[in-house]
Structure 1
Amino acid sequence: MVMAAPPLSSTTFAFSTFSSSFFFFAVSSLLINPAASDTKSADVSALNVIFQSLNSPSQLSGWKSNGGDPCDKPWQGITCSGSSVTEIKLPGLGLSGTLGYQLSSLTSVTYFDFSKNNLHGDIPYQLPPNALHIDLAGNTLTGGIPYSISQMTDLEYLNLAGNQLKGQMSDMFGKLQKMSELDLSFNHFSGDLPESFGSLRNLKTLHLQNNQFSGSINVLADLPLDDLNVQNNQFTGQVPPKLKDIDNLQIDGTSLSGSSSSKKGGKAKGMNIAIIAGVVIAVLLVIVLLLAVLRKAKSSSASSPYIDEHSYQNRSFTPLADNELIEQAVVSSSLNLKGLQTSPPMDLKPPPPGPHESLNENEFSVKLNKHSIGHAHAITYSLIDLRAATGSFSSSRLLGEGSIGSVYKAKYADGKVLTVKKIDSKLPGDSSSAFMDIIAAISRMHHPNISELIGFCSESGYQLLVYEFQRNESLHEFLHLSDDYSRPLTWDTRVRIALETARALEYLHEVCSPSSIHKNIKSANILLDAELNAHLSECGLTAYYEGQNLSPGYDAPEFTNTRAYTLKSDIYSFGVVMLELLTGRRPFDSSKPMAEQSLVSWAIPQLHDMGSLKQMVDPALHGLYPPKSLSRFADVIAQCVLLEPELRPAMTEVVRSLAQCVRPAGINNKLSGKMSTSLRSDDSDYGYY
């Protein structure tokens, strides 16, 4: 007997219908859109923090400080897989600031590249934990290597070259079995190499040059290296035998022994010995031949009291004074040849690069004589010399990139360090002739506050300028890229830098004949030496700047409106630099509120109100400045940044006004103890009202 099913109630039927509809909608949604396009919230949050920590740079298109969807609407440099961020590639964009504190949330990121920017501060303790490739080279990062790297077991490539990292490294490399390339060059690391380096079983490339490492390199003996550079460190002892045969071994500038210091390591050593031996043998054969000839000549001359003057004058060799000297030379050379088996190989390093003729010297001299008002000191360098000194213009030697080219650090075997500017911009017309005109003009500029042109090169399409190297780099870096642990510029040092820069401009405008417009006055072009003296760079390069808006925030209003650049436009830009010295702010800062982004627009209304002026002063000074000096400094700024060019003072007046701030040295002793001391050793000679 079959029992009938009980009838469905209206409630049951409604629920059943709703469930079926919901199920159908859910399945349909999955079929239509199987994967959500929204980026993981943790990734978005981490990128927001990075953007804020980089001062919200305008050059990062698509990025936001809050929210956003980088995997749906592309953000510059971001690559995604599904809803996860997998790559961040932002090299060489001039980014400044720090990397924030939330990188550990980026668990899917495998490629992380912020190289060749202006990042400062310590490397964040937590980096993307599953990264395979990390490149932070060419910044101004400080501190040490974060220990969290010890847990990044998938890491294959780590490049921290060209920063300001320091200290002794911890034993953190034991678990990094997949590491194949490690570059820590051009930093300030010290102490012995960590024992855990010996665990890097897949390491092929290791660059440690230009640090202060000490001790031996024995810990590297069993690694499968084919490229090892430990130059310019304090290493001692022997090069382990297994390292002598690697393809590229470089140990110049260390106390290591037992291997050639050429770029081909052990292989080059054997080749050098063979070459030396061959040369010595050839010399011995020549000497023996000469000895035989001389003995024969001596025996023939014994039978005749006369010398055949004609045959003597036509000899193809210089007669030697005594057969005994030849015999001594043969014995000495033989001993040296035997010693090749046991003595270290001869150092076959090329002589220190020096000037070589690369232009028509007569034509260059004509140029100099035609325009000269003084003696020109610029000398020519060969391209091969400058390539060698800059490591073929490698990124590890890059000091900065400007409007018309890049600047590199050049290091020579004798310890000399220079700066090389590689110009990428083109000159109108006959480029080589115009370049020589520029060299001739710059060579006549001699002032203690102008970067001295030492030499130049014009070969194979290259235009290179060689300058003295300034240890403390630029004013821009001191004001805007220093970390919290750096000692800030004191007030009297800032005033002195302004005065020295003003004197350099006065020289260009009113001493040079004809007057020379600089056209690119900015804090990045004011270099500071070891005693923080100012040296104005890029003088005489106006021809390269034609038609360019060079630096946001520095250009005078008449230039941006009509492109009519005059001496008074330089004075406006100098006023902006003075504002940087006063406030510690950048000329243009998009991270500020709209009303404060332009430094000049924000500052001008406050320069004549003492209360507002004190609020504007760089907080890094902690209130340590003389009020009267501050007021006078602000008055000079106000005159320099006037909108009408004809109302701005000449540089002679600016120098005079700034010099009035300097008190006689005797009065300095009466100054209150609350005043800060300068970083210069001789600042007792300077004082300010």
Structure 2
Amino acid sequence: MAISTRQAVAPWFLWLLLLFNPVARVLANPEGDALSKLKNNLNDPTNVLQSWDPTLVNPCTWFHVTCDNDNSVIRVDLGNAQLSGTLVPDLGVLKNLQYLELYSNNISGSIPYELGNLTNLVSLDLYMNKFSGPIPPTLGNLMNLRFLRLNNNSLSGQIPQSLTNITTLQVLDLSNNNLSGPVPSTGSFLLFTPISFQNNPNLCGPGTTKRCPNGPPLPSPPPFVPPTPPSSPGSSASTTGALAGGVAAGAALLFAAPAIGFAWWRRRKPQEHFFDVPAEEDPEVHLGQLKRFSLRELQVATDNFSPKNILGRGGFGKVYKGRLADGTLVAVKRLKEERTPGGELQFQTEVEMISMAVHRNLLRLRGFCMTPTERLLVYPYMANGSVASCLRERLPSQPPLDWPTRRRIALGAARGLSYLHDHCDPKIIHRDVKAANILLDEEFEAVVGDFGLAKLMDYKDTHVTTAVRGTIGHIAPEYLSTGKSSEKTDVFGYGIMLLELITGQRAFDLARLANDDDVMLLDWVKALLKEKKLEMLVDPDLQNNYIDVEVESLIQVALLCTQSSPMERPKMSEVVRMLEGDGLAERWEEWQKVEVVRQEMEMDPRNHNSEWIIDSTDNLRADELSGPR
């Protein structure tokens, strides 16, 4: 009987121990338990979850997991990790989770209804998996959700009406599934393009090609009006028609003469004067949910494109700060007014590419204006400018970027470029990655901007251009010498941008000649590293408030990205993982072994063709080559 009593008391004793022992309470971490169950439910052939150790106090030290200052999990990044298996309902306990990234895996099964408990979720990316079953209606509880991408799965059933309650939703993609029934025609769903619902054969209603039973008819295309057949030469009708046509043409010419004269006078006037044309008269561009602004609307927003509102200048035009009628601040990029070759093509390229590339670390196109006289793009206004301006052009009252912010910028920019390279079809090559093109929002989150030089790339082709465009100091050596660009040219530019973040210096600066230093930032950094002067690399504005190990790891990533051979540079997806602490040590050790051999070859006087230190200073004529900044 006594043994039985002790057995009955034991659970109460453990409960009291847990209640009054703070160490025991810390060890009971529901978020870590939930992620451990997720790990156990997934097949991980590449060991990306190797660091997920359930014996640790909390999961904040695990790779691909990000926590806030209170040690709450706010982000899980497992995209493109070759995972399979199923999700677990326990994910619903991650109440502070903001980003759940599980795209491009082989995860199957149903989407847990418990994800509807994640009310702080901003982005849910489950696309390109093997999920089946219905879309949980509980996702309608996610009132902070901005990105919902469930495309390229095997989801079935109807689209939950509850999703229309999410007023914050900016990106919705449910394409390439087996969904059926009507597309909700109320709420925010009216804003989304047919692309959001395509390749769901059993869907009907708005955004599809199928009318729902007892539903309103779909918009029909305009009727085809066949051309009038020519009349026989000898008929009286032909003679009468010709006479009437001649009279009408003469009258039209008489009345049109003042308009022609007015148009000629307008062309002679300075280009600061505008002649607005309604959008309906220029229908060649239709881009779904992008707002089409009128020219008058943007004139008012920018105070008639006043010089005092200029935010920046580039090779294809100027960027103006504007305020819309509802008070929203925007940045308006106005292409050059001269009808220069390539100007209109530049506009078309930017509109098409930016509209298809949507990611929180990419500058999202809000709208556009296209008239016979003007081509304008409207972006969200970035309150904190660019990384370059924060590093080198900040006001005395503006504090410098601290080290944690620089680390976050490096990771955010890498994620944005990785999305361009790996998740756009065809892939997008930026071709001018630099600190001036990494913008910062209100929370200093990195946003990759200026796709003016980007090119749509086929997965297997390398684009060859007739003219190299970019910025001196950021251009990869193979692009400079051959004109061939690939995603590896972006990796090189990103590596230089990392060095800008660390040093605070320009990629190309003639002022360094005053100290007999290299004008190219990469060469200057390599020279100091050879002399083991790491402390001289770090931006003095940091005032020694940085972590040596993190600086060293960021320099290692930068050097791996700026190798002379594009084949030896990592992919941007690999860069993201290295910045998260996964795989950098192995990659760096491998690189050092190769460098030992190269340096031995350099020391041998019989070898004069070493490419370890790139000499990019020959034949420089200006800080910028052609193209926008």
- For this structure pair, what is the TM-score category when the shorter chain's length is used for normalisation? 0.3 to 0.5
TM-score computed with the length of structure 1 as normaliser = 0.40
TM-score computed with the length of structure 2 as normaliser = 0.43
Question: Higher RCO, 1 or 2 (CA under 8 Å, sep at least 6)?
Answer: 2
